[in-house]
Amino acid sequence: MRVDPHLTFRGDCEEAFRFYERLFGGNLALLSYGSSPAVSTVPEGWRSKIVHATLVLADGNRLLGADLLPEQFERPQGVYLLAALRDAAEAQRVFDALADGGSVKMPLQKTFWSPSFGVVVDRFGTPWEITVE
């Protein structure tokens, strides 16, 4: 079994996933509502929004996403995406990028379980924990 996080957005999924692609690398595939059989399920002005995004990371992990209509969207609660990075410099780079326009919940710091750990909610509302294993 594989479990892939599926993030939802209120109209900025493409912007978020292009940012995640630049930040983490990988291969990004985007499908808009207008290019899918779901075209009839959304208002005309929403057809350029993303019905399905897949970012396949170098290690084979996948991050999925979609735009939801404003009345369907809910902010994520009770979950964080944990990004386990190879070293403190990489953790700092990723943390700083996610914090830009976002909200730092715990600054990146040494803990008893990691040489570098921090918590941030990015500008798209996605909650992250950044760690070095």
pLDDT digits (tens, 9 = 90+) for 64-99: 999 999 899 998 899 999 999 999 999 999 999 999
Q: What angle do CA 98, 29, 43 make, to 5 degrees?
A: 90
Mean pLDDT of the chain: 95
Domain boundaries, the chain: 6-67, 81-132
pLDDT tens digits along 26-67: 999 999 999 999 888 889 999 999 999 999 999 999 999 999
CATH fold of the domain at 6-67: 2,3-Dihydroxybiphenyl 1,2-Dioxygenase; domain 1 (3.10.180)
User: Please, which residues have CB within 8 angstroms of residue 48's CB and are 6 or more apart in sequence?
Assistant: 32, 33, 34
**What is the pTM for the complete model shown?**
0.94
**Does the pLDDT of residue 19 top 90, yes or no?**
yes
Q: What CATH architecture is 81-132?
A: 2-Layer Sandwich (3.30)
Query: Inter-axis angle of helices 88-99 and 13-24, to 10 degrees?
Result: 160
